[in-house]
Amino acid sequence: MPEPLEGMTVIEMTIAVQGPSAALYLRDMGAEVIRIEPPIGDGTRYLKMRENETSDGTMGTQFITVNRGKRSICLDAHTELGAKAVMALLETADVFLTNFREPALEKMGCSYDQLKEKHPRLVYASVNGFGPRGPDANKAMIDAVAATRSGLINHTGYSDRVPAMPGAILSDTAGGMQLALGVMTALLSRERHRKGQRVQTSALGATLWLQQWELTHAAMTGANSPRAGTHHPIMAGFYGIYETKDGGSITLAQVMTQEAWDSLCIFIEAWDLTVDPRFQTPGQRLGNFLSPEDTAEIRQVFKDAFGTRTMDEWTEFLYSQPEIIWERARSWNEVLEDEQNIANDYLTTVNVPGAGETKTVGNLVSLSETPGSVKGDPPELGEANAEILAELGFTADEIAEVENTATEQREERLAIMRGLVDKEP
């Protein structure tokens, strides 16, 4: 079956997660994605992180996650031949996608202003940490920094402790999602209006997007909404996470019908709640019009109740109640085996040299007539150099020079990283 972006070419010059995750979506939707990497490669190739006992030289899991199915070309864009290759690649591009900071792009001749006249149909997609304007437009960013600037960190965790770190790199991934959406919109616009344009977003902006409701609530009410631990900062009622007798955790979100509410109240032996006028509608049970005292009371009732039964006892009851909205907390290893994720093809497998076959997240958007698909394994550094450069018309000698220059620089940098030589001042 045809794919939405079949026949389109994306030239990607990125690092880490935010840019590569956007390009990954375009690849899943059928575009060819050529990833330009510096001689050392993307730094995430080398990130082992915690509890990773794979052999030295095995691709880092962060790189694997957002680079499957791409072609990798490795070069020094600051050399004459490297710059020539970059410009030749841009001649083939429908999309140029980057998360480099503006000064670095200008130095390579790859800023939007430097390219737009020569490539009027090019969709130029850029994403950074804090947005394209303002005093911090070129400020360096890693995921948690954008989450902190956005207010998300300040409202996560318990009010009597320092803020808590989210369990996922939300800002980077949301930034990639927003950029991919922007690229698709710009490609549709190009089909209708026959011209390319610049697409810009940021990790900061994307994390604001994740908090649209909370920020609007703060703006309209002036509420401070302190951290609420196992509950949502601006929600009242029982909505939250509760611990079972055997140490499991269940999120209880809503009870949709009176019959289900009665069943729940009987199950926890809180019969008076079945007729309590404060909890007779879904809105009331979600906390609407509840006072802080009412909220504290109902949360304590459920905290005590959850602590009297095991996870198995709770799940047996809750699965019998389709009008109660709930879920049990799962570990990442459990998620990888979850039948719901398997049934929806949310997970896929890739082959990683040194580690073998491993699961990762796959294509999550299902289209009935032009479906995307997972395109293959993450590339080795520069594995497509000879093929791509030959396609661009480079001679064998030029290809060898590009590769030799990159190899020499890479070996020198790796030696420095391993502490085998002293880094030059």
Q: What average pLDDT score do residues 390-419 get?
A: 94
Query: Residue 35 falls within a domain, yes or no?
Result: yes
> Residue 102 belongs to a domain with what CATH number?
3.40.50.10540
Q: Are residues 346 and 324 in the same domain?
A: no
Q: What average pLDDT score do residues 257-269 get?
A: 98
CB 163 within 8 A of CB 156: yes
pLDDT of amino acid 420: 62
Q: Are residues 17 and 140 in the same domain?
A: yes
> Residue 374: which of 391, 359, 356, 362 has the closest Cα?
362
Task: Label the pairing between strands 347-352 and 356-361.
Answer: antiparallel
Q: How far apart are CA 99 and CA 16, in angstroms?
A: 9
The last residue of a domain, from among 304, 328, 352: 328
Quick check: pTM over 0.75? yes
Q: Are residues 83 and 118 in the same domain?
A: yes
Q: Are residues 305 and 346 in the same domain?
A: no
Helix boundaries (H) for 159-257: 170-193, 203-210, 212-221
Q: Which two tokens stand for residue 19?
A: 């840019």
Q: Are residues 84 and 192 in the same domain?
A: yes
pLDDT of amino acid 414: 87
**How many structural domains compose the chain?**
2
Domain that holds residue 265: 249-328
Listed in sequence order, the residues at least 6 apart from 327 whose beta carbon sits closer than 8 Å to its beta carbon are 250, 251
Q: Which two tokens stand for residue 11?
A: 């030239």
Q: Which residues of 275-301 are buried (b: 16+ CB within 10 A; e: fewer)?
A: eeeebeebebbbbeebeeebbeebbeb
CB 302 within 8 A of CB 253: no
Query: Residue 299 falls within a domain, yes or no?
Result: yes
Q: Are residues 313 and 342 in the same domain?
A: no
DSSP 246: T
Listed in sequence order, the residues at least 6 apart from 241 whose beta carbon sits closer than 8 Å to its beta carbon are 230, 231, 249, 250, 251, 252, 329
Average pLDDT, whole number, for the chain?
Answer: 97
CB 196 within 8 A of CB 119: yes
CB 384 within 8 A of CB 72: yes
Q: Are residues 278 and 191 in the same domain?
A: no
Angle formed by the axes of helices 170-193 and 203-210, nearest 10°: 100
DSSP 150: T
Helix boundaries (H) for 78-169: 80-91, 102-107, 112-115, 143-149
Q: Would you call 158 helix, strand, or coil by DSSP?
A: strand
Q: What average pLDDT score do residues 330-344 get?
A: 98
- Is residue 184 predicted with pLDDT exceeding 80? yes
CB 30 within 8 A of CB 374: no
Each residue's pLDDT tens digit, 59-110: 999 999 999 999 999 999 999 999 999 999 999 999 999 999 999 999 999 9
Q: Are residues 206 and 304 in the same domain?
A: no
pLDDT of amino acid 417: 79
Beta carbons within 10 angstroms of residue 82's beta carbon = 22
